[in-house]
Amino acid sequence: MESPSNGRAASAWLMRQARAQRGRVALPVALGLATTLCAVGLAFLIARVLATLLGFAGGGWEDLGIAALLVLAMAGLGMAQEAAQNRAGEAARAKLRTALFARLMELGPDDKRGVGEKAALLVDRVEALDGFFARWLPAVALAILAPATIILVAAWADWVTALVLLVMGLLVPVGMAVTGIGAARESRRQMDVLGRLSGRFVDRLRGLSTLVQFNRAEDEARHLGQVAEEFRTRTMRVLRVAFLSTTVLELLAAGSIAYLAWRHGAHLGANHPDPVAAIFCILLVPAFFQPLRTFSQAYHEAMSARGAAADLAPLLEAPPAEGLLLESMPPRVTVAFTEVALRYEGNPRPALDRLTFAVSPGETLLLVGPSGSGKSSVLKLLMGFARPSSGRIALNGQDATRLKPAELRRLSAYVGQRAHLFQGTLRENIALARPDASAAEITRAAEAARVMSFARRLPQGLDTEVGEGGYGLSGGQRQRVALARAFLRDAPLILLDEPTTALDPGTEAEVMEAIARLCAGRTAIIATHSPQLRGLSARVLELGAGRMAVSHVE
């Protein structure tokens, strides 16, 4: 639920985004203003022609010709304005999406949101800002500039008309504020439901086979249907605001035309001194209300944007992680933990308690211990995804926490329990670790990780496509692709988290052989349940009892 301070922070953030977009909004505003000037000219020419038709002194065929040209110009300007607005919206969304993605990457596993929720942030929330940048911002500027221009022109023709338009123009924001009470709150709720819907949808899609296996597909579909229905209700409430504010506007426009028609019509009958000006004043009314109408239509987009901003602002406004940059990549790294403790927020039990150990270059350390003993937490600290609550982590004698977290990640190559393979070729999947690597370097890394031993048998070798999630490759093959990434990265620190957990003994032996080669000459820390990782010459550090016990395995 949106708290007032939350709402204010979201609005302030939106205003800052709007200021940053000023340059891009200027063009649509200028084009919109040019359209208004054309509309004024058109009203004047038509007023002259109509005056002639009514038997007064007015314009002729040339006025009609110029009016036709103005209509064409207005169509062209309208199209150009639309294109400029779409470009502004696209640019703003692309910038925000990039910043958001970078932020989520920086937070890494520390961000508690589920995959579906993150996807909803990146897609739906950013998309909800499109209307704000593309339509709302130009509409606000034009809702002030264009009517003000028309009031000035009307004042020249008839000051009463100018006064009527001024009063009606001032009533529009009042009417919209009244009809829009609670609109921001409704939009926020709509966003919340959309977030839940997308989150649940992605989550259930990922586990579709499990749901089918347990015959839960129908229940899930019903539940999704309920959330979708709630979303529909919320959307209708948001749209009601849009309809109401448009109705208020139409009433004001109709009232203005009725009054001005009566006033000038009565005068026309009684030998009006300037019939062209009288007709012109009536014809100005639609041109006057057009930008206000666009403004009112975009109103609910601004409300949706506020709803989305309430989710995006806290993430994007969080100060970027601070720290030093590496002067150069050290060829070797000594890791030393001294009395390191780690407490996660909201968890009273420390994940690590006064942990002390050191690993030198060329050495491999196996972190063993029962589930929950803190093995992965040690790796998280070394990747900068968590910071120690107390104690010191030194890399080559220097305090690691002084480095930027992203710089810490540059120092290491990480392989987890189940490598994620992206849709693309094996080569592209390996190159992810170092996109500028040459074809020969990728092949060398693939050889070292024993990827080539199975890739050679594939129809297109390393250029074989593997599906999303690595469909078509066995668990052991996927892990070898992950190891090839680590070989290609050639970082001095190797961090492995249960790299052989999901493998059968035969495959495990193959992967272990590649791991041994990867760790040779580097500093390696491997979290594992089993101290019997075959083929590795390593020291063992047992976590869990709180203190460490070091033994040696060959």
Ligand X SMILES: Nc1ncnc2c1ncn2[C@@H]1O[C@H](COP(=O)(O)OP(=O)(O)OP(=O)(O)O)[C@@H](O)[C@H]1O
CB of 548: closest distance to ligand X in angstroms?
14
SS3 553: strand
348 scored as a contact of ligand X (CB under 6 A): no
User: Are the C-beta atoms of residues 45 and 66 closer than 8 Å to each other?
Assistant: yes
Contact call for residues 538 and 359 (beta carbons, < 8 A): no
Residue 500 Cβ, how far from ligand X at the closest point, in Å? 13
Tokens matching residue 9: 């922070």
Q: Which is nearer to ligand X, 377 or 443 (CB)?
A: 377
In the complex, what is the shortest distance from the CB of residue 461 to ligand X, in angstroms, rounded to a whole number? 35
554 token code pair: 């060959």
By beta-carbon proximity to ligand X, the closer residue of 190 and 373 is: 373
Residue pair 385/467 in contact by the 8 Å Cβ criterion: no
Please state, in angstroms and rounded to a whole number, the distance separating the CA atoms of residues 393 and 387: 10
- Residue 27 in tokens: 């063009």
Q: Which residues in 306-335 contact ligand X (CB under 6 A)?
A: none
Which residues does 19 contact at the CB level (< 8 Å), separation at least 6?
Answer: none
207, 225, 372, 546: which one contacts ligand X (CB under 6 A)?
Answer: 372
Identify the residue among 85, 294, 373, 500 touching ligand X (CB under 6 A).
373
Indicate the residue type of 530: S
CA pair distance 431, 443, nearest whole angstrom: 10
Closest CB to ligand X among 301 and 508?
508
| Minimum distance, C-beta of residue 501 to ligand X, in the bound complex (Å) | 9
Residue 103: which H helix or E strand, with range?
helix 61-107
Least Å distance between CB 379 and ligand X?
8
* Contact by Cβ (8 Å): 430, 487: no
Beta bridge pairs of residue 523: 493
Q: Do 51 and 57 meet the contact criterion of CB atoms below 8 Å apart?
A: yes
Alpha carbon distance 434, 459 (integer Å): 25
Smallest separation (angstroms) from ligand X to the CB of 313: 23
Provide, rounded to whole angstroms, the least separation between the CB of residue 347 and ligand X: 4
Binding mask 470-509 for ligand X (x = CB under 6 A): ----------------------------------------
- Nearest approach in angstroms of CB 344 to ligand X is 3
Q: Is 376 in the site for ligand X (CB under 6 A)?
A: yes
Does residue 347 touch ligand X according to CB under 6 A?
yes
Identify which range of 3-11, 215-223, 314-322, 374-382 contacts ligand X by CB under 6 A. Answer: 374-382
Element (H, E) at 336: strand 335-342
Residues 31, 87 contacting (CB under 8 angstroms): no
The torsion angles phi and psi of 215, rounded to 5 degrees, stand at 55, 35
Smaller CB distance to ligand X: residue 351 or 408? 351
Q: Which stretch binds ligand X (CB under 6 A): 86-94, 332-340, 357-365, 369-377?
A: 369-377
* Residue closer to ligand X, measured from CB, 144 or 502: 502
Q: Which is nearer to ligand X, 373 or 429 (CB)?
A: 373
Q: With CB under 6 A, what is the number of residues at the site for ligand X?
A: 12
Q: For residues 193 and 124, give the distance between their C-alpha atoms in angstroms, rounded to a whole number.
A: 12
**Backbone φ, ψ for residue 521 (5° rounding):** 80, -5
Given the complex with ligand X, which of 225 and 372 has the nearer CB atom? 372
For position 201 contacting ligand X by CB under 6 A, the verdict is no
Q: Cβ closer to ligand X: 11 or 389?
A: 389
Q: Which of residues 512-551 bind ligand X (CB under 6 A)?
A: 527
Helix, strand, or coil (residue 393): strand
Identity of the residue, 179 or 376, whose beta carbon is nearer to ligand X in the bound complex = 376
Q: Which is nearer to ligand X, 351 or 536 (CB)?
A: 351
Distances (CA, A) of 51 to 245, 259, 287: 35, 20, 19
In the complex, the residues that contact ligand X under the rule CB under 6 A are 344, 347, 351, 369, 371-377, 527
